[in-house]
Structure 1
């Protein structure tokens, strides 16, 4: 019988310890041992190495002057915020949002660039992304040489391992090797990640799934995305692929197929609005959802019908996902939530009707309207997770 690769097991154990300190620190070694189910000697060896590498800090809890009288002070461990800095970004069709964070995931600076980039030439998009990254780094008081990694969150189907964007609404071409385009501009490893995976990790680290090991997230924007967290890790497909939920088939006939995007995608919803005037201009400028709110408040029959139809389709889809994964929580995010009551009420009703009775009390639906900076912070978390997994020496990560 084959035994596990010792180097791999050491890396897995090290990541487990480091992530436990991140989630629960300051924390004592004995508590790390309980939470990770690693022996105290293994935890001591790993934390000693992490201290040597400057990734974690130790501090004494108690009064050292009276240690003899009161017992030995406990040594508590926590992440060293200055061990590394990363950049995270959400690249959307009409706005690019950037954050710089420290090793603990705390934001040092934010920068937003409201510019419509969809269908621009790749080199132009790359120029704008580079400007945004450099501006955000400068605002943090750092230089690019002090940044260890960059993660760019992109909508669409993304191969995490290669940095290839198979398809995205912001690119006119398919199979764009965006990592190869961006990395030479910075001289720093640049990760390309699905924006839905980034916001999933953001919720796991900082948001509404902070204390959960398993959850599902659905993003409702120009693309419909799916994020699955299992055992505190993102589930990715072959090659690190993200999931385009909009391609899910909900029905078919002899000569056609009905995909989720054709019922609940942003284009499908907005297509039922006026063909001219202020609303049509807003759609062309990427502001259609915000103007759809105005029509819904005015009880416009067409747009309300489109919102309800989308809610029905998403509700059934969520029920199918819960049937497959049975997560304790499903978080729904994205611009389509701004459609409000007609959309959310129909979504909830359709979900309750479609979910099997045996699973009716399993999953909680949570609606979240987090701003773009939260998504960018999730991209920074993706970069930090990569660093946590990387072998380090006292001179920094060996990538």
Structure 2
């Protein structure tokens, strides 16, 4: 029988123990062993080292005694002061940041409405640096007290390398954004896709804490897919995130292929209303969807057609995601949800028409309301915290890339 690498197994068990303590703490060592399906010897050895390192801390519980010894039972919880991280979400019309402690509790958050679209890496990095520094000061900290920064954005991101392959944020492709931020902040930086951050945030802080498998579809200027399997993010080769905007969802009247990004992103809806000068001006200022929603409320036929087309395309994409992964839950998120009930109703109809039976009966489709700065930044912070926990699953390849 081939055995695993002992050091890798220790890292995996350490991550599982920290994750159990995060989710259920304060918790006893006995319950950690039960929930983590680990031996009491393994739990004792790893938790002892974690306490010694100051990563977790014991909490004596008065009145609760261990049966064999008659002494107070010691519960374990994360030490909030063990680390502090910054979560940075860069969107086309907004930069949101949150500073959190090791438990994920937000110490300070900031929302800067600013147009960040098709910019140079230097421009975006300068803006991100200013916002991060301000939030850290608001939290009563210094950059030297920050253990890690995670920047998230729509598009395809190569996790680990800090490289953004393509994103509506940048004018260029293959941008080494992590390197640009490190040079400005002198703090370790990880870069991740917005969809992956949303998926992990929903598992850590949202309504899917008890679900190890989950899919998130992020409907922004790009259309990202975040997949959580066994409580871990699933990434492609080299740690690449998933962008399904190029998924084919139909054909045009002339026979050419119709792709999801052509009809079901924020820009596609605004382009369909481009003849309206007020829409053009509002779109440039990042307020285009607000005008579209106002026209939708007046039952404007042009907007209704665009919303129906976008919803139908998203429903087809959802059916394909369910066919591939069969997750128990899929979460719809992103700015396109500002279109409200007409859009989500079109998605539901299209999904019901195209999903293969019986898959439609095993997957729950939920709509996540557009998030505020605090939640967006906390989602990015979850990625940074997961990195500090020591998760060994960063790609589909080797556990720890060289």
State the TM-score, normalizing by the size of structure 1: 0.94
**Structure 1 partner of 2:397:** none
Distance 1:239 1:67 in 2: 48
**Structure 1 partner of 2:228:** 229
Q: Work out whether residues 97 and 376 of structure 2, in 8 Å CA contact, stay in contact via their aligned partners in 1.
A: no
Q: Secondary structure at the match of 2:210?
A: coil
**Structure 2 partner of 1:397:** none
Q: Secondary structure at the match of 1:271?
A: helix
**Structure 2 partner of 1:135:** 134
> What are the Cα deviations for residues 278-324 of structure 1, in whole angstroms up to 9, with x where unaligned?
22211122211111100101111111100011101111111121121
Q: 1:62 deviation in Å?
A: 2.3
Distance 1:55 1:286 in 2: 42
> What are the Cα deviations for residues 345-380 of structure 1, in whole angstroms up to 9, with x where unaligned?
110111112122312320111101122431211110
> What are the Cα deviations for residues 52-110 of structure 1, in whole angstroms up to 9, with x where unaligned?
0000011122249x999993321100000000000001101111010000000000000
Structure 2 counterparts to residues 172-187 of structure 1, below 5 A: 172-187=171-186
**Structure 2 partner of 1:355:** 355
Distance 2:317 2:391 in 1: 37
**Structure 2 partner of 1:27:** 27
**Structure 2 partner of 1:323:** 323
Q: Secondary structure at the match of 1:59?
A: strand
Distance 1:190 1:274 in 2: 38
> What are the Cα deviations for residues 155-183 of structure 1, in whole angstroms up to 9, with x where unaligned?
11100021110111010000001111111
**Structure 1 partner of 2:398:** none
Q: Does 1:248 align with 2:247?
A: yes
> What are the Cα deviations for residues 209-264 of structure 1, in whole angstroms up to 9, with x where unaligned?
11110010101111111000000000011111111111112246897322111121
Distance 1:158 1:185 in 2: 20
Distance 1:160 1:174 in 2: 15
**Structure 2 partner of 1:60:** 60
**Structure 1 partner of 2:372:** 371
Q: Work out whether residues 29 and 44 of structure 1, in 8 Å CA contact, stay in contact via their aligned partners in 2.
A: yes
Q: Does 1:126 align with 2:125?
A: yes
**Structure 2 partner of 1:380:** 381
Q: Does 1:266 align with 2:266?
A: yes
List runs of 5+ in structure 2 lacking aligned partners: 393-402
Q: Secondary structure at the match of 1:78?
A: strand
Q: Work out whether residues 87 and 133 of structure 1, in 8 Å CA contact, stay in contact via their aligned partners in 2.
A: yes
Structure 1's 67 and 121: CA in aligned 2 closer, same or farther, altered over 3 A? closer
Distance 1:356 1:248 in 2: 18
List runs of 5+ in structure 1 lacking aligned partners: 392-399
Q: Work out whether residues 153 and 193 of structure 1, in 8 Å CA contact, stay in contact via their aligned partners in 2.
A: yes
| Deviates most, 127-136 or 279-288 | 279-288
**Structure 2 partner of 1:164:** 163
Distance 1:47 1:241 in 2: 33
Q: Secondary structure at the match of 2:358?
A: helix
Q: Work out whether residues 61 and 74 of structure 1, in 8 Å CA contact, stay in contact via their aligned partners in 2.
A: yes
Q: Secondary structure at the match of 1:246?
A: coil
Q: Work out whether residues 199 and 374 of structure 1, in 8 Å CA contact, stay in contact via their aligned partners in 2.
A: no
Distance 1:117 1:340 in 2: 25
Q: Work out whether residues 198 and 376 of structure 1, in 8 Å CA contact, stay in contact via their aligned partners in 2.
A: no
Distance 2:223 2:207 in 1: 20
| Deviates most, 81-90 or 369-378 | 369-378
**Structure 2 partner of 1:154:** 153
Q: Work out whether residues 157 and 166 of structure 1, in 8 Å CA contact, stay in contact via their aligned partners in 2.
A: yes
Structure 1's 89 and 360: CA in aligned 2 closer, same or farther, altered over 3 A? same
**Structure 1 partner of 2:304:** 304
State the TM-score, normalizing by the size of structure 2: 0.93
Distance 1:127 1:267 in 2: 25
Aligned pair count reads 390
Distance 1:248 1:264 in 2: 11
Distance 2:60 2:323 in 1: 48
Q: Work out whether residues 183 and 190 of structure 1, in 8 Å CA contact, stay in contact via their aligned partners in 2.
A: yes
